[in-house]
Structure 1
């Protein structure tokens, strides 16, 4: 407050200087006319002037404070009543016209933003509805592949299974993208055995793993974590899918290794997934989880959308799982998921 008062006095210093000069001149004339009266009258005049300065300063401070608050409220909510309040603090015609013009522009912008928000919400609802509707033909395709496998040649079956898995991945990513942007997250945290959930995810990709001739080394121990099963499954599927997709074609012994350990210092449970695929360039690592980032890793990443690891990181953050990518591992790609120890579960 004192600082604001100093600013006000500094702003109106020219008037303070004029009034002070007049007081001095009055004091000089008074002294010349009546030296005895000067001793009694001039100090009273000075004290009165100081009191007047203080009163005017506090008055201006309060008006400026209310004006500032009114302007901030007007910018936040440019309705007509807020505009009228701002106009009441303005004395000049030019300033009032400027406030009115600003109000019109702000209201136009707000209307445009509201319309864009409505259009975006309708678009998201349409995409989410489409993603749910496409599950019906996808389920039919799965049913045919599972029950008519012997009637289809192996190469055809593998191609169809790859297409089915790819469609399912894309739909799931789309739904999770809408989910992570939602105001309400419906995660259900329960006790989960890491070895079981890893085994289930590997089983989902078994056909693709076999087709790509990738060896799976599942060294995940029977360790219990507290997390959301669907979210964690999605996270693991994105990492495993990347390892399969970006295998090194020139490598004859491709592998994916999944292992667990417990950090002795922090007590965190660490799930590490490592492969000997094409890996990620060191200069790409800081941007690996950015939306739409595909990096520089040859022909295999040209068809990538850059959404898989971005969504995986978003889900991991929601589940309070820390994601770390190894900079030292040079023979492929290594990613670790750190699960915190939950002592008091609600």
Structure 2
């Protein structure tokens, strides 16, 4: 069988009414429902955390506490990130994904790595493939290192330095937003404003550009299968008006309408472990469509690799005993790269794996 790249297939597929390749067809019980109720999620106003109005602040924290205990998903407004910067980040995405496949493959992801360019035909799985292309790269909050800029120059050449600089700035902005959210989460959980902010101050995070091409059988496949993010916090910007993100709440899937003014945020497994299981990691997926390409910018906040992920003492007592063992983020990342395809039970599987490997 000749090997196609996704793109050959996607392009072939556009000009041809044949069905999509079988590796992309998901089992019936997992196939998407494209027409879903919207999830009404509270808007968390980041200005309240800066404005110093104690009443607004405690209301925000109360709201945040409710959604995080229930499903771990919320929307952030008044975030203060420059609109120009966001627009540019989307624009440069077009530039990258619009290149020929062999150009993109200069940045190809190596097997078992989490950074680089990936499309489903290069992956490690042969079934239930996601209908998408991605470019992922590392970010470090350590200001002396321009890891994003360096990544683009090393992977794609000097011409990409400005693109690298821009994504470096975008990640910096996302890191700042994350730290503000961490202050709010700390207050919501009652461990104080500084606790999680300090924990994530030196974060070593991951940025991912998602590109979901048009698909003529969108009811047969998924852009991203149902999973919880193993990272700590995900800050997503959905471009323009293309729907695609769906969240599982109250035993059913809901759609999240795009709002270019806002960031969509969800708790990931690592923060669930940090909160001793009190705050839920959110189960979500992405669907594709026939009419339009969908693009999103995803920043995954991760702790510095030296940090031990262990809940603060005040969140552990007789009523709330420890649920997860201590770990460092690189160990968990390795588990999801080498041993396990992320779903809604990743953290549990990882805990069991840790207990077994340390016995």
Aligning the two structures, in what range does the TM-score lie when normalised by the shorter sequence?
Answer: under 0.3
Structure with greater strand share of residues: 2
Q: Which structure would you say has the larger Rg?
A: 1
- What is the TM-score with the length of structure 2 in the denominator? 0.20
**Which protein has greater RCO, CA pairs closer than 8 Å, 6+ apart?**
2
Structure with greater helix share of residues: 1
- What is the TM-score with the length of structure 1 in the denominator? 0.21
